Structure 1
Amino acid sequence: MASQFFKPPANATRGGGDAVYVASVPLRATAGPPQLIMSMAYSLNIRNLQHFMVLIKPSSPNRQEVLVFDFQPVNPESIEAAISVFSRKSVPGVVMQRKLKNVPKQRCWMVGLSKGNNAMEMAIEFNSSWETDLRIGFHDCRHYTNELVQHLTGEIQIVERLTRSYSS
C-alpha cells in the first residue's frame, strides 16, 4: 500500500470497527473541449487535480468486498463539469457507492478504524444529508472525503494531511 508517506493514527491498528481508507485518482476528461480545459488547468497549476474517495473494508469475515464512497459531478466528463473548475459555479453532483474486490495497492492510505461497528450504515446515514450541488474548491470530493472520514473515524482534514505527506 502507498502509505509510506502517511503515518496512520494510533486507532488504525486497534481492534474495533471497520477499516477506513482514502484513495485518490487523477482527474480525466473526454477528448475535445473538456480535455483542453483540463490541460489548461494542469498547465496553469490551478490545483492538484485529484479525485478523492473513501473506502471501507468491513471487519466482518462474512463480507470480503471493499465499499467505495465518493462525490462527483453527475456527468464528470461533460464540458459543464470541466468549466466549473475555472468558474467556481456549481454543477449537479451525486454521491456514489460501489464495490471493489480489494483495497488498491497504490494511492490508497489507511486512515483508521470506524468509531461504530458498521461503517457502511454510518456512511449511508451521512450520505442521506450530504448536499449534492458540487462546487469545485468549495464543496467537492475533497470536502466530502474530509467530512465522511471525520464522521466515521473522528480524524479531521485528512485530505490536506495526505496531500502534504505525499507531495513533500
Structure 2
Amino acid sequence: MASQFFMPSTSGGGDAIYVATVPLKAAAGPPQLIMSMAYSLNLRNLQHFMVLIKPSSPIRQEVIVFDFQPRNPESIEAAVSILSGNLIPGVVLQRSLKNVPRQRCWMVGFSKGKAMEMAIEFNRSWETDLRVGVHDCRHYTNELIQHLTGEIQIVERLPRS
C-alpha cells in the first residue's frame, strides 16, 4: 500500500489524495540521447509527478490520476526543452487506475470537498504552456494538492528514495 507521510488534513469525509512519481522516460533515438545527456549532468532525479484521487464512496471505484506533461512527451522538442528551458505545449491528462500504486506513492490527506469537481475546476484555469523547472508537473502537483487539501509545497516534502 502507498505510504502515508502526513497527518491527513481532514479525517475521513473527503476523498483520499495521493502523490505518485515515475522516472522520466524518452523515446528511442534523439530524445533518449538528450535524456542520457541530462543524466550525465547529474540530473538523475528527473521524476514525473502526478496527483491521485481515491473517491471516498463505499462503492469500489477506480483511482483517478491527474498530471501535466508535454503534449508530445516522446518528441525531440520535449527532450530538448528539458535541457534548454524552452516553452512547449503541455496538456493536463486524466486517466484511471484500478488501485493506488504500492511504490513511489504517498498519501497526502483528504480533500476539502468533492475532489473530482475541485480538480476539474482547477484544470480549467491551469495554463498549459509548459517550461521545465518553471511551470511543469512539479508546479502542477503542488498547486493541485494545495487546492484539494490545503497542503503547501508537497513535492519538496516528499521522502527521497
Summarize the Cα distance change of 1:57–1:2 in structure 2 as closer, same or farther, 3 Å threshold.
closer
Alpha-carbon distance between aligned partners in 1 of 2:127 and 2:44, rounded to the nearest angstrom: 23
Query: Offset of 1:9 from its aligned partner?
Result: 2.1
Tell me the amino acid that sits aligned with residue 37 of structure 1.
I
Q: Is the counterpart of residue 26 in structure 1 residue 9 in structure 2?
A: no
Alpha-carbon distance between aligned partners in 2 of 1:75 and 1:45, rounded to the nearest angstrom: 25
Residue matched to 1:61: 58
Q: Is the counterpart of residue 7 in structure 1 residue 16 in structure 2?
A: no
Tell me the amino acid that sits aligned with residue 157 of structure 1.
Q
Alpha-carbon distance between aligned partners in 2 of 1:55 and 1:62, rounded to the nearest angstrom: 18
Q: Is the counterpart of residue 128 in structure 1 residue 128 in structure 2?
A: no
Identity of paired residues, percent?
A: 79
Alpha-carbon distance between aligned partners in 2 of 1:110 and 1:129, rounded to the nearest angstrom: 25
Q: Is the counterpart of residue 41 in structure 1 residue 35 in structure 2?
A: no
Residue matched to 1:166: 160
Query: Offset of 1:48 from its aligned partner?
Result: 1.9
Q: Normalised by the size of structure 2, how large is the TM-score?
A: 0.95
Summarize the Cα distance change of 1:66–1:2 in structure 2 as closer, same or farther, 3 Å threshold.
closer
Residue matched to 1:155: 151
Q: Is the counterpart of residue 70 in structure 1 residue 79 in structure 2?
A: no
RMSD: 1.3
The answer to whether the Cα contact below 8 Å between 2:54 and 2:63 also exists between their aligned partners in 1 is yes
Between Structure 1 and Structure 2, how many residues are aligned? 161
Query: Offset of 1:11 from its aligned partner?
Result: 2.6
Question: Which of 130, 133, 140 is residue 136 of structure 2 equivalent to?
Answer: 140
Which one has a larger percent helix, Structure 1 or Structure 2?
Answer: 1
Tell me the amino acid that sits aligned with residue 128 of structure 2.
T
Residue matched to 2:83: 86
Q: Structure 1 unaligned runs (5+)?
A: none
Q: Normalised by the size of structure 1, how large is the TM-score?
A: 0.92
Residues 99-133 of structure 1: CA deviation (Å, up to 9, x unaligned): 111000010000000011x1000000000000000
Summarize the Cα distance change of 1:66–1:51 in structure 2 as closer, same or farther, 3 Å threshold.
same
**Which segment drifts farther, 83-92 or 44-53?**
44-53
Query: Offset of 1:47 from its aligned partner?
Result: 5.8
The runs of 4+ residues in structure 1 deviating greater than 6 Å are none
**Which segment drifts farther, 28-37 or 57-66?**
57-66
